[in-house]
């Protein structure tokens, strides 16, 4: 029976990269002590979520993968603790900028980089100013006798992201996130929608989902937490509310999820010849 213990981190961030790395590192250590082998920090934990505004000076935060402080720190920590750490960071590649994730293995090596495919653009989430759409395609990685798929924040709203990774062989889906209130509409609370979208991916793909979000208020924008780990039926195994700081840990039964997936027949009964419209522009 293949089982794996995974973790999601939830915390608030300052705009001091060294302080943030230290706080994330504490929680990673806590998760490892609880047996977690894959530990997911939130999106862009290097600082405040800077995409609230369009400021050309903020491009200076981007660094090449091998030079980024957050990536280097998580590499050292992963090697010490013998865990996988999917690490979100602001990537500079030549003249291009990406919202990226480095998958770091238990030897501290970078298995590969995924660049966020779907880039939002709206009040409080001005990401198209900073990031090019990812050019890596969706990615999966073998890890701890299973296969990990990772989408970044806005990717999590797209069923195509989850289904593509599943068709590639993913057995757990991870989503690091930075999401909170909507500056243009104070009455709109998307926290329920956010969770339901990903739980829908779990149910329709029969796959466990791990989501890590930040909390706290940054420049007037409040991030709502609600990080969670659910199983392949969409049932919650561990979850936070809007304020907790800490580590969510759950053990996933990969073989049982495989059996459930086969029994539901979602992949057996697919009709790809009917789905051409999905690849056409509106």
Tell me what pLDDT residue 184 has. Answer: 86
Catalytic residue among 23, 37, 43, 139: 43
Catalytic residue among 153, 230, 232, 239: 153
Q: Which residue has the tokens 């405040």?
A: 48
43 assigned to active site: yes
153 assigned to active site: yes
What's the rounded mean pLDDT across residues 137-155?
96
Report the C-alpha gap between 180 and 190 in whole angstroms: 8
Report the C-alpha gap between 201 and 159 in whole angstroms: 6
Encode pLDDT of 208-219 as tens digits.
999 999 999 999
Tell me if the pTM is above 0.85: yes
What's the rounded mean pLDDT across residues 147-170?
98
Percent of the chain with pLDDT over 90: 96
What letter does residue 125 receive in the DSSP assignment? B
Catalytic residue among 37, 72, 116, 139: 116
Contact between 105 and 143 (Cβ < 8 Å)? yes
Query: Is the pLDDT at 282 greater than 90, yes or no?
Result: no
Query: Is the pLDDT at 1 greater than 80, yes or no?
Result: no
The DSSP secondary structure of 167-224, one letter per residue, reads: HHT-SEEEEE---B--TT-TT---HHHHHHHHHHHHHHHT--EEEE--EEEETTEEEE
Contact between 216 and 222 (Cβ < 8 Å)? yes
Max CA-CA distance within the chain?
53
SS3 191: helix
Tell me what pLDDT residue 185 has. Answer: 84
């Amino acid at each position: 029976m293949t089982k794996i213990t995974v973790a999601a981190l939830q915390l608030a961030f300052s705009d001091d990269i060294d302080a943030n790395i230290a706080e994330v590192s504490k929680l990673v250590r806590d998760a490892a002590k609880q047996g977690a082998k894959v530990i997911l920090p939130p999106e862009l934990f290097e600082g405040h979520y800077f995409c609230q505004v369009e400021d050309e000076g903020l491009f200076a935060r981007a660094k090449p993968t091998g030079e980024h402080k957050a990536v280097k720190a998580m590499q050292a920590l992963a090697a010490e603790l013998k865990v996988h750490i999917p690490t979100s960071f602001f990537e500079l590649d030549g003249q291009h900028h990406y919202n990226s994730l480095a998958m770091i293995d238990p030897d501290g090596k970078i298995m590969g980089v995924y660049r966020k495919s779907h880039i939002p653009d709206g009040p409080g989430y001005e990401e198209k100013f900073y990031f090019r759409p990812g050019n890596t395609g969706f990615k999966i990685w073998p890890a701890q006798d299973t296969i990990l798929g990772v989408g970044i924040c806005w990717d999590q709203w797209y069923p195509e992201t989850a289904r593509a990774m599943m068709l590639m062989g993913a057995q757990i889906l991870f989503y690091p996130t930075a999401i909170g209130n909507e500056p243009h509409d104070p009455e709109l609370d998307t926290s329920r929608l956010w969770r339901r979208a990903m739980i829908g991916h779990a149910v329709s793909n029969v796959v466990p989902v791990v989501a890590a979000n930040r909390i706290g208020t940054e420049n007037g924008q409040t991030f709502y937490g609600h990080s969670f780990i659910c199983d392949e039926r969409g049932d919650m195994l561990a979850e936070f509310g809007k304020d907790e700081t800490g580590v969510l840990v759950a053990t996933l039964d990969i073989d049982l999820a495989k059996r459930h997936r086969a029994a539901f027949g979602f992949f057996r009964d697919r009709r790809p010849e009917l789905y051409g419209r999905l690849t056409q522009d509106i």
